[in-house]
Amino acid sequence: LIENEDPQGLDALESLYRFTGNAHVVGITGPPGSGKSSLIASLVQCIRQTDRQVAVLAVDPSSPLTGGAVLGDRVRMMDHHADPGVFVRSMASRGRQGGLAWATAELVHLLDAAGFPVILVETVGTGQDGVDIAALAQTTIVVEAPGLGDGVQAIKSGLLEVADIVVVNKSDQSGAEEARRVLRTTLDLARSPQRPRTPVLATCATQSEGIAELECAITSHLSWLNESGELARRRARALETEVLVALRSSLQRILLENSARSSRFVESIDRVVRGDITPRRAALLLSDQLVAN
């Protein structure tokens, strides 16, 4: 209901909202082919060994979770479907206004209110989505793998800047050690003294290798977030971003609804068509009229 912006779902969320603010939201992003889904499947298994509940949201339309190609991963994740301590939901990003961040954020609130202590959000780490998820999550994991093209994808895409933890997955493949070294060097060169050194871990998700270390790094990062006060700052920042995205979307809806029947709008277009004023000038005049001071 919430995904579809159904009034019933949104009402429910309003009632539930005050129970949020306890979950650790972990974003997992990286280029296609880096094995994010396998990694998440292994990580879920590892988290379940400590009996904590865990929710997984996949916002990657090409993800095996949403019906993609890699049958093996899907089957692994299916294992968890029988486990009531694991909730898995895949959603298409649907090119909705405001992108993936907003729709996802509302589902995260729901899962948070439902009491999941850990929420893993998987996004494809190309373009804006990877950066969006970093605004939403308190801990961002950037997954890389050797042999995904020339150079290290995470560096090229600018994703490294948002990484709290970097994982080189498929560590059994050639080039993994070199990718890890390059990432280590790049991160050290750009390191900020206010933040802990970003771990660069090697995993082989299909063999469950390195997963315990990854889980440990996630827990350590959460400790640092708590102790440094950064957790509260990141939560507030995420909420502010969410309000801004929703505000933009809300204004745009008002704009489109009003412009079609507003005589001021029709009049402005007429003046532009006559060559009286430029489109830019018309927009400035209209926005001045639209916005109260």
Residues that bind its own copies (CB under 8 A): 10, 13-14, 17-21, 105-106, 109, 235-236, 239-240, 242-252, 254-256, 259, 265, 268-269, 272-273, 275-284, 286-287, 289-292
Residue 157, number of CB atoms within 10 A of its CB: 18
Evaluate whether 168 touches 180 at the Cβ level (below 8 Å): yes
Distance CA 129, CA 26 (A): 14
End-to-end, the C-alpha distance of the chain in Å comes to: 36
Strand, helix or coil for residue 87: strand
Q: How far is the CB of 14 from its own copies (least distance, A)?
A: 6
CA distances, 237 to each of 123, 137, 143, 232 (Å): 20, 10, 24, 8
Cβ-based nearer residue to its own copies, 1 or 243: 243
Q: Which residues contact 268 (CB under 8 A, 6 or more apart)?
A: 277, 282, 285, 286
Of the candidates 180, 158, 184, the one whose C-alpha atom is nearest the C-alpha of residue 169 is 180
Least separation in angstroms between CB 3 and its own copies:
13
Nearer to its own copies, 208 or 249 (CB): 249
Shortest distance (Å) from residue 32 CB to its own copies: 16
Compute the distance between CA of residue 232 and CA of residue 225 in angstroms, rounded to an integer: 8
Pairing state between β 24-30 and 118-124: parallel
Nearer to its own copies by Cβ, of 178 and 276: the residue is 276
Quote the least distance from Cβ 102 to its own copies, whole Å: 8
Nearer to its own copies by Cβ, of 9 and 175: the residue is 9
Nearer to its own copies, 76 or 109 (CB): 109
CA-CA distance, 158 to 130, in Å (whole number)?
9
- Min CB(216)–its own copies separation in Å: 30
Q: Which is nearer to its own copies, 187 or 282 (CB)?
A: 282
Closest approach of its own copies to the CB of residue 33, in Å: 18
Q: What is the DSSP string of 213-245?
A: HHHHHHHHHHHHHHHHSHHHHHHHHHHHHHHHH
Shortest distance in whole angstroms from residue 286 CB to its own copies: 5
